Amino acid sequence: MMALLLRLLLLIALVIIVYTAVQYFKNPKRKLEMAHSKKYFYFLDDVKNVRKNFLITYKGVMFEGEKYLGSTSTSFDVVSISIWVLDREALQGLQRKDFEFMEKEIHSNYPNAELIWKSPIKEFINKSEP
């Protein structure tokens, strides 16, 4: 009887360990931090929750975006997005094409949204427009 109880407790412990490991590896925040440290692109967003800001990491720079709901000609949708950088010093080395890439990725999720870059990115984009 005691051996059966011990086996059952070991099985329960094993299930808990496997469940915790799966939850850890599926965690989007962990994926964001890993992409940030490896300087990859990652877009962390809850598309269904307009109130929740999104985070983008690209080439080791972390950006945050705030979504604003409004009406379009056919429905209510995200119509405006303000984006700012969390660490200004990390912007060194980014080019206009990098911001165009991020705009394209954001527009793939929010096609009706107008993107509003905050300072100093706004000045850089306006200055470098042809």
Where are the domains positioned within the chain? 28-128
Please write the tens of the pLDDT for every residue from 95-128: 999 999 999 999 999 988 999 999 889 888 888 6
Tokens 């990652």 correspond to 42
Helix (H, G, I), strand (E, B) or coil at 40: coil
Nearest CA among 109, 110, 119, 104 for reference residue 70? 110
- Give residue 128's pLDDT: 60
- Mean pLDDT, the chain, rounded, equals 90
Asked if pLDDT for residue 53 goes beyond 90, the answer is yes
Taking the model in full, what pTM does it have? 0.78
Q: What percent of the chain has pLDDT over 70?
A: 98
pLDDT for 112: 86
The whole-number pLDDT of residue 61 equals 94
Q: What is the mean pLDDT of residues 9-27?
A: 94
Closest CA to 61 of 116, 115, 119, 102: 102
pLDDT of the residue at 129: 63
